[in-house]
Amino acid sequence: MKKKLLIFIFCGFCLVAFKLQETIFFTEPINWPKANYDFSKNPLSAQKIELGRALFYEPMLSRNNTISCASCHSQYTAFTHVDHDLSHGIDDRIGTRNSPALMNLAWHKLFMWDGAINHLDVQSLAPINHPDEMDEKIESVVTKLQKSKIYPGLFKKAFGDTVITGEYTLKAISQYMLTLVSANSKYDSVMRKQSTFTAQEKNGYNLFKKNCSSCHKEPLFTNLEFENNGLALDKSLNDFGRMKVTKKNSDSLKFKVPTLRNVEFSYPYMHDGRYKRLSDVLKHYTEKIQTSPTLAKQLQKPIILSSNEKVDLIAFLLTLTDKEFIFNPKFSYPKNIFLPKPQE
């Protein structure tokens, strides 16, 4: 009797272990802070992530079925829109900000340059609805998906329901975005003691820790806060950032501190994409800081870097490039869904 019970318990353990093995789609890298996203409210599954991936690349999310999330968040450029200072959307309309690079979103609490969005799940509603981006309503996205050939089946696999809702659609997109973790750059392998910096990179890292890391805090390379980094106001945009959301003067000209991971690919830089090269950015911090009442306290004292030091600092920033992330086939256009092989 006892023996049977033991066998039963053992089988139970195996089953649980197997289940766990199956459901790990997200892990916090060693020595990283705890993720902010509450996975218990949207437990990851292979089917939901796959559906989210399809939706991320789905142009039906836009009014005239031309623009997908990937249009402005291309994997090969760290999930952002390069070459344009301000990102363009539907009918070549131009927005007012530079699209942010998407990675490590599970750690973020507020989204957008001004933090207007309070949860990853509702983030996608903003670009879907924005007249310069996708100019569509989530209601009609759901209707279009429902009428399509592939989506009722994909939603059934993911949520056990062929009836598509806004909740399912947005949760699936979140799931895919949560898997976009970049933690395998040279910097990361040095931190894990699996490789070493060159002398130049090491010097750059020391300069980084001295001058940059209080806002671009390791390991996410952002403190996730809103700061005024001394950019002169662009009068053609009159973008005061966070103040528009909080209506507080103390938030004037503050924007979310962006991550520097994969910064090699995520040009142009700043909320309005005014700088094309990393050297322009360093020039800003060393020479062009505009003082104003809300200027970040870290920038009150000038940052002084020699031209050699700037080169070293950039050498360090390039160690934040994560090729495994940029070229990970799991994140790319889901050919298997959109372009199924003809049956032989």
Binding residues for another protein, rule: CB under 8 A, are 38, 41-42, 116-122, 125-126, 128-130, 137-139, 142, 165-168, 170-171, 174, 245, 247
Whichever of 119 and 157 has its CB closer to another protein, that residue is: 119
The least distance separating another protein from the CB of residue 194, rounded to whole angstroms, comes to 36
The least distance separating another protein from the CB of residue 102, rounded to whole angstroms, comes to 17
Whichever of 159 and 285 has its CB closer to another protein, that residue is: 159
Whichever of 165 and 214 has its CB closer to another protein, that residue is: 165
The least distance separating another protein from the CB of residue 225, rounded to whole angstroms, comes to 17
Whichever of 188 and 272 has its CB closer to another protein, that residue is: 272
Whichever of 50 and 121 has its CB closer to another protein, that residue is: 121
Question: What is the 3 state secondary structure string of the chain?
Answer: CHHHHHHHHHHHHHHHHHHHHHHCCCCCCCCCCCCCCCHHHCCCCHHHHHHHHHHHCCHHHCCCCCCCHHHHCEHHHCCECCCCCCCECHHHCECCCCCCCCCCHHHCCCECCCCCECCHHHHCHHHHHCCCCCCCCHHHHHHHHHHCCCHHHHHHHHHCCCCCCHHHHHHHHHHHHHCCCCCCCHHHHHHCCCCCCCHHHHHHHHHHHHHCCCCCCCCCCCCCCEEECCCCCCCCCCCCECHHHHCCHHHCCEEECCCCCCCCCCCCECCCCCECCHHHHHHHHHHCCCCCCCECHHHCCCCCCCHHHHHHHHHHHHCCCCHHHHCCHHHCCCHHHHCCCCCC
The least distance separating another protein from the CB of residue 145, rounded to whole angstroms, comes to 11
The least distance separating another protein from the CB of residue 297, rounded to whole angstroms, comes to 25
The least distance separating another protein from the CB of residue 114, rounded to whole angstroms, comes to 9
Whichever of 118 and 250 has its CB closer to another protein, that residue is: 118
